[in-house]
Amino acid sequence: MIDLRSDTKTQPTAEMRRAMATATVGDEQLGEDPTVHVLEGRAAALLGHERAIFLPSGTMANLIALLLHVGRAGDEVVLASETHVLRSEAGGGAALAGAVFRPLASDDGVLTPEQLADAVRPDDIGAPRTRLLVAEQSTNWTGGRLWSVDALDAILDAAADLALRTHLDGARLLNAAVALDVEPDRLARRFDTVMLDFTKGLGAPLGAVLALPAALEPAARRFKRMLGGALRQAGICAAACLHGLDHHVARLAEDHANARRLADRLAALDGLDVVRRPVTNIVLAETPDPTAFLAALRAEGVLASRAGATTVRFVTHLDVAGPAADRAADAAQRALDRTATTVEA
């Protein structure tokens, strides 16, 4: 099977498993795991922040950010409508952080300063207070799109003028840094808080960090405990994340090249419309009947996922070499032939 459903690898590499097996560990809940300390220091420096907190998942990191910035006050969070926070985190921001979400339409998940300014509520006792901007870099459900450095600077200037706090969902921030050819901190340091995930292209079995100013650290660590995120010998997992940082960042460019290779092949097929040529590792394509297409594709040995009523999503990653992208495109051709035959029959 070629699994293109997400960029989380099915198996950590043998080298990553070795790094995990030989990690020096301690009790993370007591603040005594040395490998977690190393990872938190590395991540803070990488993202241009004073501190970083190791967490089991990106979803928990995003939720802690919402708890820090909104904190059950019914305040409003402005974000693009297809962001993961809104679409794929089980409504946790509303249920647990008391956030009111203000989704803004955007084909590529990138917002303009004008959209942000228009979304901010007037000072009115009946209106939620607009408190936070959430940006996603690179985007997930809109197909791995990027905020350019200029677009980021513009939205962050606007957020500062509007006295909004800012959170970056950087699940795939390193994909963005590689694609834009900039240091990660250039994309991250101006945000109040930043999430970075190690389970995407970096291939770790679990782990994310929330980077933040030192002043927010005690409250964030308390929320981590409250949500069940305090761990014990977590260095085993932090070692995998460090291995990912050491060995799997530069190669993200290969995932991007493979996504373009796959997209170019898919674009040539009748029955699939590639939404936009990918700039990172996600390919979206339109097809009239995703359920039938995905079932036929599975029968051909390729797994992809549904991203919308008529949209399918392919994600390239550490397990997908260039020839596998070609094999996936061949399988897509056969799957389209199969579904066409079924419809005719």
Question: What does the binding site for ligand PLP look like in residue numbers (CB under 6 A)?
Answer: 57-59, 62, 84, 136, 140, 169, 171, 197, 199, 208
Pick 33 or 82: Cβ nearer ligand PLP: 82
Place of tokens 């099915």: 10
Pick 135 or 325: Cβ nearer ligand PLP: 135
CB-closest chain residue to ligand PLP:
58
Measured distance CA(239)–CA(243) in Å, rounded: 6
Do the beta carbons of residue 22 and residue 233 sit within 8 Å? no
**Closest distance between ligand PLP and the C-beta of residue 95, in Å?**
16
DSSP string, 194-250: EEEESSSTT--SS-EEEEE-GGGHHHHHHHHHHTT---SSTHHHHHHHHHHHHHSST
Range 305-308, long-range pairs (CB < 8 A, 24+ positions): 305/5, 305/6, 307/141, 308/141
Pick 84 or 265: Cβ nearer ligand PLP: 84
**Closest distance between ligand PLP and the C-beta of residue 287, in Å?**
22
Pick 196 or 336: Cβ nearer ligand PLP: 196
**Closest distance between ligand PLP and the C-beta of residue 282, in Å?**
9
Pick 281 or 287: Cβ nearer ligand PLP: 281
Whose CA is closest to 251, among 149, 326, 322, 185?
Answer: 322
Pick 23 or 61: Cβ nearer ligand PLP: 61
**Closest distance between ligand PLP and the C-beta of residue 332, in Å?**
22
User: Left if phi > 0, otherwise alpha if psi is -120 to 50, otherwise beta: which for 71?
Assistant: left
Could you say which DSSP state residue 134 is in? E
The amino acid that residue 9 corresponds to is K
Pick 33 or 197: Cβ nearer ligand PLP: 197
**Closest distance between ligand PLP and the C-beta of residue 141, in Å?**
8
Place of tokens 């291995």: 243
**Closest distance between ligand PLP and the C-beta of residue 58, in Å?**
3
Burial of 257 (0-12, 13-18, 19+ CB in 10 A): middle
**Closest distance between ligand PLP and the C-beta of residue 195, in Å?**
7
